[in-house]
Amino acid sequence: MQPLIDNARTHGQRPEEFAPLAQGQSPQVLFITCSDSRVVPALITGARPGELFELRTAGNIVPPYASEHPTSEAATIEYAVEVLGVSDIVVCGHSHCGAVGALVRGDDLTAVPAVREWLTRTEPRPTGAVEDPCVAEGVQNHILAQVLRLRSYPFIDKKLSAGELTVHAWYYEVHTGSVLSHDTASDAFRAL
């Protein structure tokens, strides 16, 4: 923890760099990814403060849209799309994902009931090669399922129909730093 505290202490030594951010934010991109510490959106994209609006959940799950009982995730997505007016949404899953791996393997999650309950929100359960430590197939299937879920949100469906929004499906390799993007024409993940 100490190195992080030391860095936080010196972070504000160039206040002129941050002063313009007081004017507000107008990010163009909502970046939805896993909470995994190996995935650092600003590092991957080179984004500066104010450029990426982020939603991070265990396993980058986009829960079902439920207007009567809105989730925190739905509120974050709605704010990004309806208030900030982002033009693009990236759903970025990653290799070696613990959450998706647990689903693919069918792990016993009795000891972590909150995690177990959260992961049930990703029906259908992702499938893929169980022996692959990257869980590449399972994660890529999972990413596409989250994109479909996102498309079921009414305000997103409306923006997509109007051509005002683009949704990207990315797969990030934590062990190489490479990003693959889903190509709809070939239905395959390819290098960006």
Q: Binding residues for Zn ion, per CB under 5 A?
A: 34, 36, 97
CB of 122 to Zn ion, least distance (A): 12
CB of 92 to Zn ion, least distance (A): 10
Closer to Zn ion by Cβ: residue 94 or 159: 94
Instruction: Report which secondary-structure segment, H or E, holds 148.
Output: helix 136-151
CB of 57 to Zn ion, least distance (A): 9
Report the candidate in 2, 26, 32 with the shortest Cα–Cα distance to residue 153.
32
Closer to Zn ion by Cβ: residue 25 or 35: 35
Closer to Zn ion by Cβ: residue 30 or 33: 33
Helix 98-105 and helix 136-151, axial crossing angle in degrees, nearest 10: 100
Question: Cα Rg for the chain, rounded, in angstroms?
Answer: 18
Strands 88-94 and 166-172: parallel
- Bridge partners (DSSP) of residue 92 are 33, 170
Closer to Zn ion by Cβ: residue 34 or 143: 34
CB of 29 to Zn ion, least distance (A): 20
CB of 117 to Zn ion, least distance (A): 17
Closer to Zn ion by Cβ: residue 34 or 150: 34
Residue 48 tokens, joined:
């500066």
Contact 142, 170 (CB under 8 A): no
Preceding amide of 113 cis, omega within 30: no
Please tell me whether residue 37 adopts helix, strand or coil conformation.
coil
